[in-house]
Structure formats: structure tokens, C-alpha cells
A = this chain, B = another copy of it.
Amino acid sequence: MPNTDVTLGIDIGGTNTVFGFVDKSGNCIIESAVLTKSNEPAEKLFARLQLEINNLYKKISSDYDFIGIGIGAPNANYYNGTVEYPPNLSWGYVKVLEIVRQYFDIPSAITNDANAAAIGEMKFGAAKGMKDFIVITLGTGLGSGIVANGELIYGADGFAGEIGHTIYDPDGRKCGCGRKGCLETYASASGIKRTIFELLCNSTEESEFRDISFNKINAKMISDAAMRGDKIALEAFDYTGKVLGIKLADSVAHFSPEAIILFGGLAAAGDLIFKPTQKYLEENLLNIFKGKVKLIPSALTKGNTAVLGASALIWNELDKLKKDEIQ
């Protein structure tokens, strides 16, 4: 029997870099991780990674052929093959694909994690067969990957898809980007925490959060409290869904997507976040879009989602290469 083709998906995070071999159907055959060591230059990470990748591949090389590498990383530029001044890594401007190609003589591609997630959903997940959809990643911040006409939107410079930095309120919350009122200051793990404190200020409702300091609260505690019926926590989810729904109505007016997929830590809160987001999205949609847009969870469940996304990126590139060869 001939070997099965696999690609390597690499997800570079601030703490860990996870990588794994994934087949064409989105099954992760084997995966591993190394510490990113965010204070070291990128070259050191890739020197360590190369050894680990070769060791991992040896375990499966009798049955699998290694044919491509896809990378998801913060501030990655698909067009340039670079990572440009990532906030959580002391890398500066790094030509990542040049480094990777010194070690591996196979096709490789890089993009940011939200774009990788979008391609992952299209190839293996909730967006199979869709040509127009948006993936929203609700983590510490809010990332987005947008697909239209079956292709990821990179824009003129490779940095399209910054829905987290659309403005909800020009006089609103201070954002890490230096401006005010960005969507991600409301709709994200850190956003909902800020909302808890706004509500503790504005309301007189009792809440378990009246006894906990800002620095000790995280999104998981807020969803647990909401499950227990804490009114401030429940109201925080409602408000988060309201801001997200209002701004996603703007995104729908731009793209008219078939679906919006919620992904990442805060999306794991399930109905707590999906129900209010769906309600306010519908309320704020232009008539012609009402009832048309599905709000659904990620279906990247067969392995580490970020590894599957990064792998899907390079599978997608390999498909394009094959198509070009045939034509």
C-alpha cells in the first residue's frame, strides 16, 4: 500500500509552539509541542523545532509522506512569508518562510491564527462546502478570518480581517492598539472581564465578583458564575453578545456570509454567548439579511484546532498548485 500524504501544521503561540502531522481529511496523526521562549530570536525556535519535527516524523515515516508545512503565527503576513512585530514575541520583523525553507525543501505557507482557523473550518470543519463565511476567534482578543468567493481575504497588504479593531464606540474603552472603543475591548475574554467591572459599578446587584479583584478574574470564572445564576455574570454575557451582534451586523452588510463561526475560549461558554449574540445580530441586521446568517460553533474537534488550521492552510495551497498544474 502506498504511503499517505501528510502536512505539518505549526501553531506558534506566546508560550507554546504546537505542531502535528495531519492527513488530507483533517485527522491529526501525531502531535507534539516545544516552549516558544518568547524572548529568544525566531532563528533559535526554528533550530529547535527542526530537530523535534524530524524526530516526530521518524515515528510515522514508514506509513506517511511529509509534503508541506503550514504555520499559524501572530502578525503573520501571508504574502511576505513574514511575522512582523508580534506583540507577544520579541522577534521584530522575521522572514519565517526563508528560515523554514533552509530546513525543509517542501512547500510552506504562513498566516495568522484566525486566518488559519478559517481555512481549517473550510477544509475540515463547520464551513465545509461554504464559499462565504467569517470565523471569529474569541480569545484574549478578538481575531477574524474572512472567506469570500471561496478564498481567504488577505487584502492589499496581507493584513485584512481585523474585525476585532472595528470601532463600537469612538469614546469607549481604551484598546491595546492605542485607539478607543474597538470591538475586542468588549467581545473577548478580557472584554467580558472589563464588562463585569462596568456592571459592578453601574448596578447594585449582588455578585460573587464583588469579593474578587480584577487581576484574579478570568473568562472561565465568569461563565461558571453565570451557570450558577450570578446576575452580573449573566448580564455581562448579554452585553457582550449585544456589542458583538451589533458589530457583526456591520460585517454581514459588507460580506453577506452564509455563516459566522465562533471559535476560541469564550465561544466555549456555549449558549451563554451564542444566544445573546444571535438575538442582537438578528435585531440589527438589514431586512434583506434577516434569518439568513447561521451563527455556529467551530467543528475543528479532531485534534488541536490551531494545528488543524495551520495544516489546512498548506493543504489549501497544495490544492491550488495541483489545480494550476492540471489547467
B132:A167 contact, CB within 8 angstroms:
no
Complex interface bits, A176-191 against B, C-beta within 8 A gives 1, otherwise 0? 0111000000000000
CB distance from A189 to the nearest CB of B (A): 20
> From A153, which residue of chain B is reached at the shortest CB distance?
B148
When chains A and B are docked, how far (Å) is the Cα of A287 from the Cα of B257?
27
> Counting chain B CB atoms within 10 Å of each CB, which of A149, A179, A258 scores highest?
A149
A254:B166 contact, CB within 8 angstroms:
yes
B254:A160 contact, CB within 8 angstroms:
yes
Q: Is A231 an interface residue (CB 8 A)?
A: no
When chains A and B are docked, how far (Å) is the Cα of A286 from the Cα of B163?
11
When chains A and B are docked, how far (Å) is the Cα of A313 from the Cα of B255?
19
B258:A156 contact, CB within 8 angstroms:
yes
When chains A and B are docked, how far (Å) is the Cα of A254 from the Cα of B130?
19
Q: Is A249 an interface residue (CB 8 A)?
A: yes
From B156, B253, B288, B292, contact of A292 by CB (8 A): B156
When chains A and B are docked, how far (Å) is the Cα of A60 from the Cα of B148?
40
A288:B159 contact, CB within 8 angstroms:
yes
Task: Please name all residues of chain B whose beta carbon is closer than 8 Å to the beta carbon of A149 when the two chains form the complex.
Answer: 148-149, 151, 153-154
Interface residues of A in 127-181 (CB under 8 A from B): 130-132, 146, 148-149, 151, 153-163, 165-167, 170, 177-179
Task: Please name all residues of chain B whose beta carbon is closer than 8 Å to the beta carbon of A162 when the two chains form the complex.
Answer: 253-254, 256, 286, 288
A287:B255 contact, CB within 8 angstroms:
no
From B160, B256, B257, B292, contact of A255 by CB (8 A): B160
Number of interface residues of A (CB under 8 A): 42
A163:B254 contact, CB within 8 angstroms:
yes
Task: Please name all residues of chain B whose beta carbon is closer than 8 Å to the beta carbon of A249 when the two chains form the complex.
Answer: 166-167
> Is chain A's binding surface mostly helix, strand, loop or mixed?
loop
When chains A and B are docked, how far (Å) is the Cα of A48 from the Cα of B257?
38
Task: Please name all residues of chain B whose beta carbon is closer than 8 Å to the beta carbon of A317 when the two chains form the complex.
Answer: none
From B131, B146, B157, B178, contact of A156 by CB (8 A): B131
When chains A and B are docked, how far (Å) is the Cα of A177 from the Cα of B249?
14
B253:A163 contact, CB within 8 angstroms:
yes
When chains A and B are docked, how far (Å) is the Cα of A167 from the Cα of B146?
20
A253:B166 contact, CB within 8 angstroms:
yes
Q: Is A246 an interface residue (CB 8 A)?
A: yes
B292:A250 contact, CB within 8 angstroms:
no
Task: Please name all residues of chain B whose beta carbon is closer than 8 Å to the beta carbon of A167 when the two chains form the complex.
Answer: 246, 249-250, 284
When chains A and B are docked, how far (Å) is the Cα of A254 from the Cα of B165?
9
A-B contacts, 11 of them at CB < 8 A, read A131-B156, A155-B257, A156-B257, A161-B256, A162-B253, A162-B254, A166-B249, A166-B253, A167-B284, A170-B246, A178-B287
A149-B149, A149-B154, A166-B253 given; name 20 further pairs at CB < 8 Å. Answer: A132-B160, A146-B254, A148-B151, A148-B153, A149-B153, A155-B255, A155-B257, A156-B257, A156-B292, A157-B292, A159-B256, A159-B288, A159-B289, A160-B255, A162-B288, A163-B253, A166-B249, A177-B286, A179-B284, A327-B327
Task: Give the interface of A toward B (CB within 8 A).
Answer: 130-132, 146, 148-149, 151, 153-163, 165-167, 170, 177-179, 246, 249-251, 253-258, 284, 286-289, 292, 327
